[in-house]
Structure 1
Amino acid sequence: MGRSNSFQQFSLHSEPPMVVFAAKAGFLALAAVATVAFGVAAAAQAELLARVPAAREMAVCGDTLFVGTKGSSVYAVPLSGGRARRVASGFSAPNGVACSRGRLFVASRDSITVFDIGRGGALSGRRDIRRDLPNSGAHSYRYIAVGPDARLYVSFGSPCNICSPRGLQGTIVSMNQDGSDLRRVAWGVRNSVGFDWRGGTMFFTDNGADRMGDDVPPDELNALRPGGFYGFPYFGGQIRLTGFEDATPPARQIAPVFNFQAHVAALGIHFFRSLGGDALVAQHGSWDRSVPVGYQVVRLRFRGGRPVSATTFLRDVGRPVDVKEAPDGSVLVSDDAGGAVYVFQR
């Protein structure tokens, strides 16, 4: 991608792994070892693209990468190399970023905001297009993307581990790019923090409930059927959730198309041209399990339009949140614990 030589480069093989960074995030000290598992003998190049505090969702907008965060700011990173610049602030958890038609959309805890994108990723013309977002409690990291229909899609988490959501809690909605014509496109969704489209179908991750044991319920991958009910709080996967074992669901559940290991915390998903249309999924990693799982990026292989297997693609890369494809086919990964964005090249 013609990046500046100021970036650290590492040659990564299947073994031995090499230490890329050691970071401390709050009480959690992470010694991150980046191992690339492409299923081939050739080495891959790993670069630290930029340090971005609490990096979350990413949006590739021309030659600029915008990065949302868990804090109060949004950053812009030149894909050709250079330091991250704070380009917007004053938000509450601006997790979600997406771009369309020369504009950047930011989904935070309290609002959906749009900016005009200028040279070098400079932002101007800030205006809120929605401020009536539901209270999602601890699940307030909104994911946002622009669909093939040019509408904005935004996730609204449930406000709890297992409870009955109210209003737009536990949903995915779509709207016009000016915020009008809001529609609920999925409900019964516990906490989706990632979605993308393949062949016109939106696939979205959903985090399973906690405190039910090491191996249940699974994290999910779902295929969108507009208006469909996806089971929460009655089902996790197709397992009855605590407190709702005998309750009658309000509609027929649309079952997941793929189940991940319980508690891996499947977040961002992106379909890659450079991987023949397979997806990469960021697994943020468990906190509610006796033996930790996740903390990796997996390749989700598709056959006949359906997911058939998930295998490790990148492991020990801190706590990955989102994955995106750079214009040259490289893999971009954000890590909120290490405060970093990485580029992985084959």
Structure 2
Amino acid sequence: MKVFSLTAGLLSVRIGFLAFAAVATATSSVAFNPAQAALLARVPAAREMAVCGDMLFVGTKGSSVYALPVSGGRARPVASGFSAPNGVACTGNRLFVASRNSVTAFDIGPGGALSGRRNIRQGLANSGVHSLRYIGVGPDSRLYVSLGSPCNICQPRGMQGTIVSMKQDGSDLRRVAWGVRNSVGFDWHNGAMFFTDNGADRMGDNIPPDELNELRLGGFYGFPYFGGGIRLKGFENTRPPAQQIPPALDFQAHVATLGIHFFRSLGGDALVAEHGSWNRSIPVGRQVVRVRFQGGRPVSATTFARGVGRPVDVKEAPDGSVLVSDDAGGAIYAFRG
């Protein structure tokens, strides 16, 4: 594996790369050159990102949301007082922040300044476990938020272990998926939502798999009865309440799939952040993988890049660059064509 020494302003980092790929599309063609990758900014405990015009907003595991120019520059906190504002998403001049207990809306001003803070939805299902929310704006203009299960393997209650949607004022809350263990990433491809889900722990090195699922409104995705096609401990002989929708693609167990984004600059393929294992005898993950799609369905996953810490989220900049957040290193990386 080659190791390149990269510099962005006063910041430098050493990153190892295994694979880079791009294909030409009708709208764009970007060739990702390892030597053109860079550390874009330092953001403590960086999590989900939102590209909003020429600004990049970054959620964190701390108490603040950060902003910086997409082109690079110093990141600064623009909103604080949250409990783990993991999720950020924008539409028009509005930013939405999903924290452990609430969804908060802001108006975006020049330079990423935020104003008009208002809690549009409070009292989210929060057990303290799997409570880092992912948020996105769907093609239907509704907000989608993931609500993780309260445990490794147990029976969720209420809205735990679901993905929900709501209007942009926080009203009309709907459960759109259930039986979801812990989804911390989703995106839309040709109108269909695909979401990642983390498999259960403490069942050995190789089962159950992490998952990529396609949303069917109201669908049941198996937890806590199934992880992929594997029956989970304690529920082996329990009849599920509904027919499981099987994963569209299995990932290796314990890679901890998080953020996913479909890239124009990769011909509509997706990149997925694998945060990495914490209790496997031989560690896996800690990379970004490219998921190839054919006929609207995922068919394979291969390494796109390693050496970017513990990746959390992936997004596409307006110029087609790939942005990757790393919460362990407190960093945002940019892969530019």
TM-score category, normalised to shorter length: over 0.9
- Kindly report which structure 2 residues correspond to 1:267-282, keeping only aligned pairs within 5 A, or say none: 267-282=258-273
Q: Does 1:33 align with 2:19?
A: no
Tell whether the 8 Å contact from 1:302 to 1:309 is kept in structure 2 after alignment: yes
SS in 2 for 1:274: helix
Tell whether the 8 Å contact from 2:33 to 2:336 is kept in structure 1 after alignment: no
Query: Could you tell me how far 1:39 is from its partner in structure 2?
Result: 4.8
Q: Does 1:70 align with 2:66?
A: no
Question: In structure 1, what is the Cα distance between the partners aligned to 2:4 and 2:129?
Answer: 34
Choose from 93, 100, 119 the match for 1:109. Answer: 100
Choose from 309, 316, 319 the match for 1:325. Answer: 316
Q: Which amino acid aligns with 1:223?
A: E
Q: Deviations over 1:97-148 (max 9, x none)?
A: 0001211000000110000000000000100001120024220100000000
Query: Could you tell me how far 1:32 is from its partner in structure 2?
Result: 6.4
Question: In structure 1, what is the Cα distance between the partners aligned to 2:193 and 2:21?
Answer: 27
SS in 2 for 1:17: strand
Question: In structure 2, what is the Cα distance between the partners aligned to 1:141 and 1:214?
Answer: 24
1:4 is matched with which residue?
A: none
Q: Which amino acid aligns with 2:122?
A: R
Question: In structure 2, what is the Cα distance between the partners aligned to 1:235 and 1:80?
Answer: 43
Tell whether the 8 Å contact from 1:139 to 1:159 is kept in structure 2 after alignment: yes
Question: In structure 1, what is the Cα distance between the partners aligned to 2:265 and 2:107?
Answer: 30
- Please report the TM-score for the alignment, with normalisation by the length of structure 2: 0.93
Question: In structure 2, what is the Cα distance between the partners aligned to 1:338 and 1:311?
Answer: 23
Tell whether the 8 Å contact from 2:52 to 2:90 is kept in structure 1 after alignment: yes
Q: Which amino acid aligns with 1:37?
A: A
Q: Deviations over 1:71-122 (max 9, x none)?
A: 0000001112210010000000000000012110000001100000000000
Question: In structure 2, what is the Cα distance between the partners aligned to 1:134 and 1:144?
Answer: 15
Choose from 26, 40, 56 the match for 2:47. Answer: 56
More displaced 10-residue stretch of structure 1: 186-195 or 43-52: 43-52
SS in 2 for 1:337: coil
Over the matched positions of the two proteins, sequence identity in percent amounts to 78
Question: In structure 2, what is the Cα distance between the partners aligned to 1:273 and 1:39?
Answer: 13
SS in 2 for 1:139: coil
Q: Which runs of 5 or more structure 2 residues have no equivalent in the other structure?
A: 8-12, 23-30
Q: Does 1:251 align with 2:233?
A: no
Choose from 156, 164, 171 the match for 1:173. Answer: 164
1:208 is matched with which residue?
A: 199
2:178 is matched with which residue?
A: 187
Tell whether the 8 Å contact from 1:32 to 1:318 is kept in structure 2 after alignment: no
Question: In structure 1, what is the Cα distance between the partners aligned to 2:82 and 2:2?
Answer: 42
Question: In structure 1, what is the Cα distance between the partners aligned to 2:157 and 2:268?
Answer: 36
Q: Does 1:344 align with 2:330?
A: no
Question: In structure 1, what is the Cα distance between the partners aligned to 2:175 and 2:253?
Answer: 27
- Please report the TM-score for the alignment, with normalisation by the length of structure 1: 0.91
How many residues of Structure 1 are paired with residues of Structure 2 in the alignment?
323
More displaced 10-residue stretch of structure 1: 31-40 or 75-84: 31-40
Q: Which runs of 5 or more structure 1 residues have no equivalent in the other structure?
A: 1-14, 22-30
Question: In structure 2, what is the Cα distance between the partners aligned to 1:101 and 1:165?
Answer: 35
Q: Does 1:16 align with 2:7?
A: no
Query: Could you tell me how far 1:233 is from its partner in structure 2?
Result: 0.1
Question: In structure 1, what is the Cα distance between the partners aligned to 2:127 and 2:328?
Answer: 22
Choose from 124, 127, 138 the match for 2:115. Answer: 124
Tell whether the 8 Å contact from 1:137 to 1:160 is kept in structure 2 after alignment: no
